[in-house]
Amino acid sequence: MALRSRSQNRVTAGVFLASAVVAAALVSWIHPNPASGQQPSSARLPPPTFHFVQPEPINFNDHDGWTQIFDGKTLKGWDGDTDVWHVEEGAIVGESSPRHPSGTTNILWRGGAPANFELKLEMKLEGSGANGGIQYRSLSVPPRLDPLPADLTPEQRTRKQQELELAKKHAQWNLSGYQADFDFNNQYTGQLYEQGSPRGIIAWRGQVVATEPGKKPTLLATLGSSNDLKAVIKPSEWNQVEIIADGNTLIHIINGHIMSVLIDTDPKFSQTKGLIALEIEGSGNLKIRHRNIWLKKLP
């Protein structure tokens, strides 16, 4: 075996010395010497703990960060036919009767065209024919004024002619767009209906639905049976209604229960912002009341 030179031995000794210093430093860091009285900073910190905290209970009357968009006294900031809409006992009321029918019409909030937001209000319907809803991310469009079919009975012709005249009268308040539906018989209440669109009802009560370009809507999940959700809706009483519109996700909530969800990624129909309005339609004697209307804009 060849003898090492002195320089080679010095290099080898230096490597061993460096290795020893590093090893000693690691040992002292992992296993500190109690006698030294020195503890690493990490040893002085308490062990990590994890807290799982329940969210605060539902508080419909929490208005922190919200803006009241109906003053409870006047129709200031709202635009609709005053033959149909008025303020009564702190509520915006739409009213219709056989003698003074409303047809299908809206009262529009003129405070802007929100994109992402939460909207909450209370609604009460009176009259078995009452049908209404909340329009949002909606657009002003002219009404469809189709000619009357030739094969109508005299009674049907009279009714259709009346509807046509009312549509002309209310043309300036006609809308297309998303609607949180609400009817007295709760057949449709909670669903997501698209007014003035061939899509019509997109997400029925109890459904989570997604849309994509060129495809039929897809059912992603269910929120419970339609009848079970219907049971939490109170006919002829005040109901707490909330809408969340955030990006492509639209959520309808009534009395603290999610009724329907739509994830709308079909650019042919989806709207990113638009008008908010209250709708009335239906036959017979009816009233639709809306109060405590609050809006919170989201990023």
pLDDT along the chain (299 residues), means of 10: 40 39 36 47 71 92 96 98 98 97 97 98 97 98 90 89 94 98 97 97 98 97 98 97 98 98 97 98 96 98
Q: Edge-to-edge, what's the strand order for the sheet holding 192-195?
A: 78-79, 105-109, 275-281, 131-140, 175-183, 192-195, 200-203
Same domain, 84 and 20: no
Quick one: pLDDT at residue 41?
54
For residue 139, is it within any domain? Answer: yes
For residue 62, is it within any domain? Answer: no
Same domain, 40 and 141: no
Residue listed under structure tokens 């809408």: 243
Quick one: pLDDT at residue 228?
97
Nearest alpha-carbon partner for 293 in 80, 58, 122 = 122
For residue 50, is it within any domain? Answer: no
For residue 20, is it within any domain? Answer: yes
Q: State the sign of the Cα–Cα–Cα–Cα dihedral 164, 201, 175, 60.
A: positive
For residue 52, is it within any domain? Answer: no
Quick one: pLDDT at residue 24?
39
Token output for 43: 């040893």
Same domain, 19 and 153: no
Number of domains in the chain: 2
- 3-state SS class at 96: strand
Same domain, 154 and 75: yes
Quick one: pLDDT at residue 10?
37
Quick one: pLDDT at residue 48?
78
Quick one: pLDDT at residue 42?
53
Question: Which range of residues forms the domain containing residue 156?
Answer: 67-297
The predicted model scores a pTM of 0.82
- 3-state SS class at 241: strand
Quick one: pLDDT at residue 26?
34
For residue 58, is it within any domain? Answer: no
Say which CATH number the domain at 87 has.
Answer: 2.60.120.560
Same domain, 172 and 110: yes
